[in-house]
Structure 1
């Protein structure tokens, strides 16, 4: 009898939690109608916060779904970045399953570390990223170039990919501002855009390190080095 009561209580608790998470999801959709698709809402073990996944974003909300928090939760006792740890788990990607054949490849130094990234020629932070990457050695880079940030990038992307030396054309454009000459070929842009959609990449740059860690946004060289070193150790 005690076992039945315990099981019944557990079922009630589970259903109440699920109901709460469902209500929070509904509340967020009503209050923030343009927020996009909410992948999941899960209660965290700290401070009554709920984890919210929207595309490639990890956000937090309260128990009533009245507020959204965009930031990192830090455990002060051990100085752990809880949010970063969760991101690594939630958004991990099997690097070896990426369609690297549709990317432009660059090997620097011994190429021992790996990073792939989505980028767009009309994205200001993508240009900043290229400057930071120019400071880094011993890495193999795979660039998924496409009109992700802006549809207006279509022609520029085509001219880069169809250039005699696409890698040189890309560097000249992003580092020196020299646009490539008009050219035409099979750019595989449709495949790049399909991959971006599949991976919920809605902005650029979006970085993927060799261990599968995905980081949306620009990083300075110092931080890139840390991620690259960490990914090589795994």
Structure 2
């Protein structure tokens, strides 16, 4: 990318100018121009609150910005100074969605609490410390929810996570094995050799743009990364 210029827009020109001009429609050929110049597929080109600057969506959820000719690309955050909020962050959150009803829930370890009326899917790695924090802190006390835990090991970070994921899945009591591992550090006494969805879950996570764990998917389709606080989970469980 010959013309790629990296700046932090929170401290730069775009941050200062955000919402200072009316948005305009991107040039019709800008998407094709950027695809050729960047050498990468461009999913969409959208207007921004800054005249002459356009949002470029790549890889489904990566956002950069460009000028009208596609000569320069800006990497960073666009800030609405008056509102003191990140336009980029809000747009990424809006892009991080999926259809909950289409998730292959049969490939997840199902845990029902209370009446199980609320729904939550969690992509997790058994060796991820943040996944353990989510289990041991954030999810504690949350009731009346059905949690679908998709075992998605990250072998590049945790080489033994694939084996542990398979062992939990292959156990006679998956939910008990899940709790024993995340709260007691005890794996089930069984082989990891069985028909399991671990590889499918890894592929699914990648297709959803999930590159780290934990990642939570709420019933409205919103995807949120990280061991977020219990209060935020409760709010999102009720979101429409």
Contact 1:24 1:65 in 2 (8 A): no
Q: Structure 1's 229 and 67: CA in aligned 2 closer, same or farther, altered over 3 A?
A: same
Unaligned runs of 5+ in 1: 1-12, 30-36
- The within-5 A match list for 1:27-106 is 28=38, 38-47=41-50, 48-55=52-59, 57-63=61-67, 64-69=71-76, 71=77, 73-74=79-80, 76-77=82-83, 82-83=87-88, 86-87=91-92, 89-106=94-111
User: Residue 44 of structure 1: CA displacement?
Assistant: 2.7
Instruction: With the length of structure 2 as denominator, give the TM-score of the two structures.
Output: 0.72
Per-residue CA distance 1:97-124 (angstroms, 9 max, x = gap) = 2111111111122222211121111222
Instruction: Give the conservation status (yes or no) of the 8 Å contact 2:119–2:146.
Output: yes
| CA deviation after TM superposition for structure 1 residue 89, in Å | 4.5
Equivalence for 1:208: 217
Task: Give the CA RMSD over aligned residues.
Answer: 3.0
Whether contact under 8 Å (1:115, 1:208) holds in the other structure is yes
Q: Does structure 1 residue 161 correspond to structure 2 residue 164?
A: no
1:150-189 mapped onto 2 (5 Å cutoff): 150=156, 152-183=160-191, 184-189=193-198
Per-residue Cα deviation, 1:147-194 (whole angstroms, up to 9, x for no partner): 245453111111111122221222222233233334232212233233
> CA 1:60/1:40 → structure 2, altered by over 3 Å: closer, same or farther?
same
- Aligned-pair CA distance for 1:209: 0.5
State the aligned residue count.
209
Matches within 5 A, 1:132-151: 132-148=138-154, 150=156
Bigger mean CA deviation after superposition, 113-122 or 171-180 = 171-180
TM-score (normalised: structure 1): 0.73
* Cα gap change, 1:101 to 1:58, in 2 (>3 Å): same
Q: Separation in 2 of the partners of 1:222 and 1:119?
A: 20
Structure 1 position 25, deviation (Å):
4.8
SS of 2:227's partner is coil
Aligned to 1:34: none
